[in-house]
Amino acid sequence: MNTNHRSSEPISRRDMIGRSGLALAACAAFPSVSPAAPTGKKLGVSIASYGHRSRGGSELGLPSFRDALNILDHCHRHDAGGVQIGVRGWQSAFARKVRDRRESLGMFLEGQIGLPKKDGDVNRFESEIKAAKEAGATIIRTVMLGRRRYENFKTLADWSEFKKSSYAALERAAKVVDRQRVKLAVENHKDWRAPELIGILRRIDSEYVGATIDTGNSLSLLEDVMTTVETLAPYAFTTHFKDMGVAEYNDGFLLSEVPLGEGFVNLRRIIDVCEKANPKIQYNLEMITRDPLKVPCLTDPYWVTFGALPGRELARSLASVKRNQSTKPLPQVAGKNARQRVEFEEANVRKSFAFAQTRLGLK
C-alpha cells in the first residue's frame, strides 16, 4: 500500500490552515498533557462519527455521503488513516472500486456487518464478508445487540432468550469467517460486560472471532473503563476509540461521547494496554454527536438483567461519576437545526483528530 499517495482532490489552503489551527488549539487546551511518541499508526474513523452528515448532508448542499467512496475521500482530506463502514449490500464490482480508491489514498478499511440471525441469513452474511474482503478489509466489526441491555429487556426470560439466540448467530458467523479467513470483531455494545463477552469468545474458540473494544460503552453497565479494556485487550482486533463525559441526574447518571482529551478516560493508558496485547490493533474514532444518554441505574427496571451484580459496582460507578463529573455542559444537539448539527459534529471530529495527532502519537 502506497501511504504517500495523495488524494486526487488537493487539500485547500483553508483546510491546511484549519488543521494547523486545530493542532495549535489542542496544544493550548491541554498544556499539561505532554505529546506521546508516535505509534506508527494514524487514527481511523467509524462512520458513526458522521451520523448527522450521513443522514442529511446532501440535503444541505454538502458533498454527498451516499457511499463508501465519498466517505473515504472526505476522511482522507481530514487526515484519517482509514474508515470503518457498513458493507451491507456490497457487490463485487463496487467492492473493487472501494479497494482501488482505498489503495490510491493509502487508507485502511474495516467493515461493519450484521450477524446471521437465522440459517437462511448465512448466504447474505457470507456474500458481504466476501465483498468486504475483496475491498481490502481484514477485520469486520459486529454487534450482538443493536440497542442497550437495560432498555431492551423487560424480563429475565427475555434476556435469557437473547443470550441463546445471539450465541447461535455468532456460531453461524464463526463458520463463515473461519472459512473466509477474515477477522470478526464483536463489540461490547452496551450488552455484555467484559467477562461475559470473554466467556462467549472462549466458547466460540476461533482465531477469527475476537473483540472490538469500545472504550466508553461499558460505563453504562457499571464497568470501569480500564477494567473493560484490560479484560478485552487480549482478544481485541480493533477499537471504537472515544473519550467520555459524565454528569449526575436523579435516576443515575448521564453519559456522553466528547472530543478526545475533553473527558476523563485515560486514552494514553488505553493505547499502552492495547499495543502490548496486540501491536497490530487499530484505533477508530467513534465520536457520536448527540444528546447525553441516560443511564437509570437507580431505578428497578435497570436491574432486570443484573441480579447477581454486587452493589459495590453501583457504588464505585456513582463515586466515579461524582469524581469525574464534567465541569461544563455535556454536548447537546437538541435545539440545533440540521446544518448546525452537521457543523457541530464535524467540529467534534476535527478536535478529536487534532488531539490524537498532537497528544497521543496517532499520526
For residue range 314-329, what is the model confidence (pLDDT) as tens digits?
999 999 999 999 998 9
In the predicted model, is pLDDT for residue 34 greater than 70?
no
Whole-Å CA distances, 361 to 31, 41, 262: 15, 8, 17
Per-residue confidence band for 67, with pLDDT thresholds at 50, 70 and 90:
confident
| Residue 273: inside a domain | yes
Phi/psi of residue 299, each to 5°? Answer: -115, 155
Q: Say if residues 23 and 62 touch (Cβ distance below 8 Å).
A: no
pLDDT at 307: 82
- Average pLDDT of the segment spanning 79-86: 95
**First vs last C-alpha separation in the chain:** 17
Instruction: Check whether 29 has a pLDDT greater than 80.
Output: no
- Is residue 287 within 8 A of residue 257, CB to CB? The reply is yes
Q: Do residues 77 and 11 touch, judged by C-beta distance below 8 A?
A: yes
pLDDT of the residue at 35: 60
17 occurs within a structural domain: no
Grid cell locating 76: 482522507
Give 301-314 pLDDT, tens digit per residue. 999 999 889 999 99
Q: Looking at this protein, which amino acid is placed at residue 76?
A: H
Domain for residue 284, yes or no? Answer: yes
pTM over the 0.85 mark: yes
CA nearest neighbour of 141 among 189, 95, 91? 189
* 82 in a structural domain: yes
- Domain residues for the domain of 133 are 38-359
DSSP summary character for residue 198: H
Of 253 and 146, the structure prediction assigns the larger pLDDT to 253
**pLDDT value at position 271?**
97
Pairing of strands 183-187, 139-142: parallel
Q: What is the CATH number of the domain that holds 244?
A: 3.20.20.150
pLDDT digits (tens, 9 = 90+) for 339-349: 999 999 999 99
Confirm whether 29 is domain-assigned: no
CA torsion, points 268, 270, 272, 278, in degrees to nearest 10?
A: -140
Which of 17-21, 37-41, 238-242 shows the lowest mean pLDDT across its residues? 17-21
pLDDT of residue 162: 97
Task: Tell me how far apart the alpha carbons of residues 132 and 124 are, in angstroms, rounded to a whole number.
Answer: 12
Give domain status of residue 20, yes or no.
no
Predicted confidence (pLDDT) at residue 15 exceeds the cutoff of 80: no
Structure confidence at residue 20 (pLDDT): 44
pLDDT of residue 109: 97
- pLDDT greater than 80 at residue 124: yes
Q: Which residues contact 47 (CB under 8 A, 6 or more apart)?
A: 54, 71, 83, 84, 85, 86, 112
Percent of the chain, pLDDT > 90? Answer: 82
CB 194 within 8 A of CB 231: yes
Q: Which grid coordinates belong to 253? A: 447518571
Q: Please state which of the ranges 6-10, 66-70, 171-175, 290-294 shows the lowest mean pLDDT.
A: 6-10
DSSP annotation of 299 reads S
Which is higher by pLDDT, 147 or 168? 168
Give the other-Cβ count within 10 Å of 81's Cβ: 21
Number of domains in the chain: 1
Q: Is residue 15 part of a domain?
A: no
Q: Is residue 332 assigned to a domain? A: yes
What average pLDDT does range 57-84 have in this prediction? Answer: 85
Average pLDDT, the chain: 89
Give Cα 190 to chain centroid, integer Å. Answer: 12
H or E stretch covering 254: strand 252-258
pLDDT for 64 equals 66
| Confidence class for position 40, pLDDT limits 50, 70, 90 | confident
Report pLDDT for 16.
39
CA distances in angstroms from 74 to 257, 320, 342, listed in the order given: 22, 37, 14
Q: What is the pLDDT of residues 155-171, one digit of tens each?
A: 999 999 999 999 999 99
6 pLDDT band, cuts 50/70/90, is very low
Residue 118 banded pLDDT, cuts 50, 70, 90: very high
